[in-house]
Amino acid sequence: MAFVLKSKSEQEAASAARKASSLAGFNLDDLAGQGLAQLEHAKTEAQNVLRQAKVQAEQVLQQARQDGHAEGLQQAEKDIDARVKKEASALATQQVAAMKKATSELQQTYQEWMQQYASVLQQTILAAIEKIVVARVDSEKEILLRWTAEALSKTRAATDLTVAVHPELLAELGQQLDELVAQSDLPERTTVVPDESLSMSDVVIRQSGGEIRAGLTAQLDRLAELLQ
């Protein structure tokens, strides 16, 4: 069992920086401008249709006047009124639909951008923290001893334990690690062994039920989980 997943690599940090750079060019004012442009275009088209309907209606009315028929004139006026009302209704419907569409698109784009921004921000923060902590661990290896002690405190029920570290770390902190595992409240069969597959800043405590990672990678992964 491990208390985190994976660490962030330098490649992920570089990727986060590139994404952050691309997001820097995002402008909500431009997005709003695009939505307003769509509304204005829909409004212009609808107004053109309404204007054309009025012209056609006026032509019908003029023709009726020329014919001199009162009945035809009344019918023409009714036709004009009905056509204008119809076109006005169509104009209002079209404008409302365009506004709803533009609002929906703006909201979706904004939400997608915020999700991407949060992800990039998290990666950037983790990359920065990793650089700081790596430098601190390199200069103060005793930090690894504290992390190891915390992990060992979670293994009280184990019957035997193996503390695995990189060979160079074992050479540097071997005595302190031996003193740490010699605590009376730890299983008698608790040993410290070298493991070349581990990094200089990682510590793995193995037991029959699984393992606990207590080094830098584990700490960074735990931080990543907390930031999600």
Say if residue 148 is in the same domain as residue 86.
no
- 110 and 170: one domain? no
Note the pLDDT of residue 158.
67
Helix or strand or coil: residue 77? helix
What's the DSSP call for residue 200? Answer: T
Does residue 127 sit in the same domain as residue 150? no
Instruction: Give the domain-ending residue among 104, 121, 138.
Output: 138
- CATH number, position 192: 3.30.2320.30
CA 78 – CA 69 distance, rounded (Å): 14
Look at the chain and count its residues: 228
**161 and 133: one domain?**
no
pLDDT at position 12 is 54
Q: What is the pLDDT of residue 4?
A: 38
The pTM is what? 0.45
Q: What is the chain's pLDDT, residue by residue, as a tens digit (228 residues)?
A: 333 334 444 555 555 555 544 444 445 555 556 656 666 666 676 667 667 767 776 776 676 666 655 566 666 667 777 777 777 777 777 777 777 777 777 778 777 777 777 777 777 766 776 677 666 666 677 888 888 888 887 776 667 888 888 888 888 888 888 888 887 677 778 888 899 998 888 888 888 878 888 887 787 777 777 766
Could you list the residue range(s) of the whole structural domain that residue 17 is in? 10-138
The predicted pLDDT at position 71 comes to 60
pLDDT value, residue 66: 67
Domain for residue 212, yes or no? Answer: yes
Task: Give a yes or no: residue 1 inside a domain.
Answer: no
What is the CA 75 to chain-centroid distance, rounded? 63
pLDDT in the model for residue 91: 73
Instruction: Tokens 């992390």: give the residue.
Output: 147
Q: Kindly provide the residue ranges of all beta strands, DSSP E only, lying in 89-209, ordered along the sequence.
A: 160-165, 189-194, 203-207
Q: Report how many domains make up the chain.
A: 2
Tell me: do 56 and 120 sit in the same domain. Answer: yes
Domain boundary among 138, 159, 182: 138
Residue 118, both tokens:
């949060």
